[in-house]
Amino acid sequence: MPEQPNRPPLLEIRDLSLSFHQQEQVAVDRVSLSITQGSTLGLVGASGAGKSSIARAILQLVKPDSGEIFFKGKDVHRMNPQDLKFCRQRIQLVFQEPSASLSPRRTVEQTLLEPLQHFDIGDTNSRYEKVLHILDTVGLDQSALQRYPHQFSSGQQQRIAIARALITNPELLIADEAVASLDVSIQAQILQLIQKLQQDFGITFLFISHDLAVIRQIADEVAVMYQGQLLEHSSADQFFSEPAHPYSKTLLSFAQGKAPVHRPDDKRYLERSRRKAVNSSACLFAGFCPDKMQICEQAEPAMHDVQHKYQDALEPHCVKCHLYNEVNTHDF
């Protein structure tokens, strides 16, 4: 997977698989990803692609069927209690709906003090000072401390949610559709805040979104999910200038207002694809791919490194598609 040279990944996922047995549905299928420290990985795909399931596995909210997740070189599912507590302190999550993630019965002060108390960070005085500092960091003042979530706008609520995530000094922040519920002007403010936090504190972000305009603004790398599988992973510049996988091209066409043959998030489209994939070794996207070849319905493609013949400085670019079999890679 793409990785900046001489910088070890903060988070590494190897062959992760996760299924929901009651629904008989594979949510994540042999996904491998890495995120370099201090960078932002945009994880994109339609609803049901497996993006949030990966986040839940990283946070250990669900147990994967197979595969490994390493944080700072340690397997999160084999950590001793002390390392596990440290890991949970250093990986935090910002939810999509701040009004649902903030307790209506807790003041802002209580909300921000709770993580500090849970992780035994500081004493009474230093905790209060830290709360004030974090509020200032996210653009809120001391008057917010004794107020309740319903007394704030949606944008202010998301700032509080971000403050709660930041207060434990995380190294990895997972933002799961963190701006999807906000209007455009507030969305822009929150994205600017996130970018500033990364510049000031060097936080690593896993930014999950279906909105490619948001991903283009904030991500250093892009990973594309489809029906639980990783189809493409590249730098953001490379993805938006030369997407390799036909599904990625479909997503971009739709985001740009063009009309692909099928909406990439259409429920009937996704369900038909899911049914075709059951007990099949074919490419998941074969039924809708404009570039389909005979082999696409006979064998699952492998992940390939794409070579861009017009580039002088090559950036790693991986794609799971038969178009980029060894015989075809030099033709891109």
| Structural domain boundaries enclosing 327 | 243-331
| CATH code of the domain containing 141 | 3.40.50.300
- One domain, residues 215 and 248: no
Q: What are phi and psi of 277, to 5 degrees?
A: -80, -15
Residue-level pLDDT at 23 = 55
* Residue ranges in the chain whose pLDDT is less than 50: 1, 3-5, 261, 272-279, 310, 312-313, 327-332
Q: Is residue 293 part of a domain?
A: yes
The enclosing H or E element of 197 equals helix 184-201
- One domain, residues 40 and 115: yes
pTM for the full predicted model: 0.86
Q: Is residue 231 part of a domain?
A: no
Residue-level pLDDT at 106 = 96
Residue-level pLDDT at 182 = 83
Rounded Cα–Cα distance for residues 94 and 160 (Å): 10
Residue-level pLDDT at 331 = 42
Residue-level pLDDT at 254 = 83
Q: Is residue 230 part of a domain?
A: no
Residue-level pLDDT at 225 = 95
Q: Based on the structure, what is the number of domains in the chain? A: 2
Strand order in the sheet with 40-44: 91-94, 172-176, 204-208, 40-44, 221-226, 229-235, 317-320, 303-305
